Structure 1
Amino acid sequence: MNKRIEAVDILRGLTILAMILVNTPGTWSHVYPPLLHAKWHGLTPTDLIFPFFLFIVGISIFFAYENKPNTKSTYKKIIIRSLKLIGLGLFLNLFLPYFPLVEDFETLRLPGVLQRIGVVFLISSILFLNCNWKILLGISIFTLIGYWLFLGFMPFPNGIMPTFDRASNNWANYIDLNVLGKHMWQPDYDPEGLISTIPAIISCLFGILIGKTLSVLQKNKVFVLLMISSVFLSSGYLFNEWFPINKAIWSSSFVLVTCGWAVLILSIIYYFTDVLNLKQGAIFKYVGMNAITIYFLSSFISKSFYLTKVNNDHDIHTYLYDSFFVCPFFSEETSSLLYALAVVLFYVGLGYFLFKKKIFIKV
């Protein structure tokens, strides 16, 4: 397929900007509920963001490697790119904007968003190069069912049956706690933990399958995407009755529902951009074409702002928020949102600048 699919770039850009929006409120004490993750079971708009990105990674894998030879050179490029992503993620966790410039390794968080993207990209790409779509679909279904059976019905060594609760008798939490120890986001779980990365790979594989669908179909693409979306959503919400929708453990129902929403939104964008040929979403495409670079910069700058003091009492982030966004005419939630929107606009401008200068940084 020679023609670049505008909808994919736009959805990627929207997803990255949504990541930045929910990651940089003016204050975490006052955030509108839809801009926060579900506390455990459940789904908010914020919970859709990361699985959307992994889904888009899958679509990108399909078009990038559809005609690539299954050679050592191809594998080398895949491995190098994966290691770069993991390295960037570890750098973000390790970096401090003050002496000694690095976090204490004893409590350094090892997992992270970029680390998970790197691992998912590596495994999904290798599977794509070696398996046809039927095998990929079979692997996906088998993994989702197996993950449910393991987390829900495999007893612990002491004979206690597991639960899906946020507790030590949840297999995902148990494994992370015993393997990662203090190197986790929270003392009892990590949202980018070890075992939950397995179903996250399926989010990417489903993206690969949708990429193939877009490539093979010559007409009625929107209708087919809508049908696929309805299958994902209905099966995911039905599965929720036995395996609750949960981002933290990346439950099988979570995979199905988030992929359903991703396909639905992709189909809508595709209809307007690639069918009607409307270009109003081009600004998001500019961000999407440097997605990892912009996400990395936003995370690096945000961490630096939080950890760099101004006048020894406020960090840069708090200083900017209190000085320019706190206003008696707005609620604290609105002020907090306005700060986040200002940050988003900055990165929209950066994406546009990079696009106009034809700067596309490949990680």
Structure 2
Amino acid sequence: MNGDHGQEKKVMVMSNGFENHDDNSLAIRVEDKGQDSGGGGGGHGNGNTEKVEEHLENVTGEMARLELPRARSKRVAALDAFRGLTIVIMILVDDAGEAYDKIDHSPWNGCTLADFVLPFFLFIVGVAIAFALKRVPRISDAMRKITIRTLKLLFWGILLQGGYSHAPDDLSYGVDMKRIRWMGILQRISLVYFVVAMIEALTANIRPTVLRPHRSAIFSAYHWQWLGGFVALIIYIITTYALYVPDWSFVFHNPGDINDGKRFLVQCGVRGHLGPACNAVGYIDRQVWGINHIYTQPVWRRSKDCTYDSPNLGPLRDDAPSWCLGPFEPEGLLSSVSAIVSGTIGVHYGHVLVHFKNHSDRLKQWLLMGLGLIIFAIIFHFTNAIPINKQLYSISYICFTAGVAGLVLSGFYILIDVWGLRAPFLFLEWIGMNAMLVFVLGAQGILAAFFNGWYYDKPNNSLVHWIHKHVFVDVWNSEIVGTLLYVLFAEIVFWGVFAGILHKLGIYWKL
């Protein structure tokens, strides 16, 4: 290039990528021909510079639509490890939570290990959305794929948690449609995924490809995503504090229980109540789904108001309030609206991965936001303004769990992707690569139910029961320790090895 005043402009065009892949950007060089020292270059230097700057975004858009060869992609292993950790925690708290009540769900306010599972899922779903939809060639195709995937998640959610599957202990199957449960973990994930992914897809053509050099550029570039989360939060807040909750009643169903068939009345007549009995979250579900289609064994039964053995599930107190036996949907409709914010925060972390290619820049963005969210949540919780509550999916709960998720992802990123300590976390990566398969077969007990179906003389004399009792409980002479070791080695280690074999064979199951 002639002349001492030539300037070089680089336009970063993101190559088309897939979920969980950190694609190398393609650099397109746009050069400005300025005047050379001999005067032979003409006097068009400033004009060309203005034209380049004026049409920079148009050039980027045109080049993004070209069929360019993709650069070799580098998988961000921390994302798979994070997803795998979430599945592992779910298996641990589901199968060992009754033995170790400290890790089981909090009876109401507060946060335990079990309470991190669902928001971690929503967080990583958001991160994956940012990768999967960082380029949308045709919005109609993207919307169709999002809708199909949402319906698949709904189907599996109703099948696994609606009451049709009784795995792993009950070998029967089927559900009375008068009492089918409509909401659940996958149903909530599907709702959050649909809203967040739709916003991401519909705004693909109006968001910038290159961020401007400003601290808040990543937020302003994706202001529609944050607006969607803000609207969801406003709907949740207004409904929670303004909706009038009247008295309600229910009939308790539990064959063999002394209260079976009895009708109980819960007196409310309040607004803005955040306790178990009279909150707007429960009221919405009773009105929308019907009281017979709500989860019948809520964790509030382990609260101090209901049992002396709290936080364990003990016999009811003689003076226990009537709502202790009532139904409550932990993955309710209104609380699923506020859960959209968890997915929105996850999308932001994904956007950081897409746009920032330097380790320190990514970690700076992640850590500052994670710490800020945690501090915000702690202040609201300990001032009792808005307690951390998983059942209500409160604002403080969203911020606290999303902040912890951000710190955990940052820790994995440092250990695995920056320092290269990949071997100790390979089993988490393998599980994360086949998260849906392990969720269905492992966390929902489908594979265990299959083995339980082959028993000798009586149903509780199967291979799974024998291993649990004789290899773990009897050896340690402790139901608690034996159960914990069984979950760690006979379940989590097993699924790690199983997922690793599937990875080596190139077998993955994704919706």
TM-score computed with the length of structure 2 as normaliser:
0.66
Which protein is richer in strand relative to its size?
Answer: 2
Question: Shift of the alpha carbon at 1:140?
Answer: 2.3
- Counterpart of 2:77 in structure 1 is 6
- After TM superposition, list the pairs within 5 Å mapping 1:1-363 onto structure 2: 1-2=22-23, 3-25=74-96, 29=98, 31-92=99-160, 93-95=163-165, 101-131=173-203, 133-156=222-245, 160-167=270-277, 169-180=278-289, 181-186=291-296, 187-219=326-358, 220=360, 221-240=362-381, 241-280=384-423, 281-298=425-442, 299=444, 300-302=446-448, 311-312=457-458, 314=460, 316=462, 318-327=465-474, 329-341=476-488, 342-363=490-511
Question: Shift of the alpha carbon at 1:185?
Answer: 1.5
Equivalent AA in structure 2 for residue 18 of structure 1: I
**Alignment RMSD:** 2.4
Equivalent AA in structure 1 for residue 471 of structure 2: F
Distance 1:191 1:81 in 2: 23
Question: Shift of the alpha carbon at 1:322?
Answer: 2.3
Question: Shift of the alpha carbon at 1:147?
Answer: 2.1
Distance 1:358 1:328, change over 3 A: closer
CA contact (8 A) 1:222 1:268 kept: no
CA contact (8 A) 2:142 2:201 kept: no
Question: Shift of the alpha carbon at 1:306?
Answer: 7.3
- Counterpart of 2:61 in structure 1 is none
CA contact (8 A) 1:145 1:252 kept: no
Distance 1:21 1:96, change over 3 A: closer
CA contact (8 A) 1:229 1:263 kept: yes
1:308-344 per-position Cα deviation (integer Å, ceiling 9, x unaligned) = 8753362645454223321263532211111211211
The secondary structure found in structure 2 opposite 1:24 is helix
Distance 2:176 2:245 in 1: 33
Equivalent AA in structure 1 for residue 436 of structure 2: I
Distance 1:172 1:111 in 2: 13
Distance 1:310 1:68, change over 3 A: farther
Equivalent AA in structure 2 for residue 143 of structure 1: A
The secondary structure found in structure 1 opposite 2:270 is coil
Which protein is richer in helix relative to its size?
Answer: 1
Higher Cα Rg, which structure: 2
Distance 2:145 2:426 in 1: 29
The secondary structure found in structure 1 opposite 2:84 is helix
CA contact (8 A) 1:310 1:319 kept: no
User: Aligned residue pairs: how many?
Assistant: 359
Equivalent AA in structure 2 for residue 184 of structure 1: I
Question: Shift of the alpha carbon at 1:246?
Answer: 0.9
Distance 1:149 1:197 in 2: 15
CA contact (8 A) 2:441 2:447 kept: yes
The secondary structure found in structure 2 opposite 1:165 is coil
Equivalent AA in structure 2 for residue 162 of structure 1: G
Question: Shift of the alpha carbon at 1:304?
Answer: 5.6
The secondary structure found in structure 2 opposite 1:246 is coil
Distance 2:338 2:510 in 1: 26
Distance 1:42 1:309, change over 3 A: farther
Distance 1:311 1:179, change over 3 A: farther
CA contact (8 A) 1:34 1:46 kept: no
14-23 or 134-143: which moved more? 134-143
Distance 1:100 1:56, change over 3 A: closer
1:248-267 per-position Cα deviation (integer Å, ceiling 9, x unaligned) = 12111111100000000111
- Structure 2: gaps of 5 or more residues: 1-21, 24-73, 208-221, 248-268, 297-325
Distance 2:346 2:94 in 1: 24
Distance 1:148 1:331, change over 3 A: farther
CA contact (8 A) 2:473 2:481 kept: no
CA contact (8 A) 1:305 1:315 kept: no
- Structure 1: gaps of 5 or more residues: none
Distance 1:146 1:115 in 2: 19
110-119 or 138-147: which moved more? 138-147
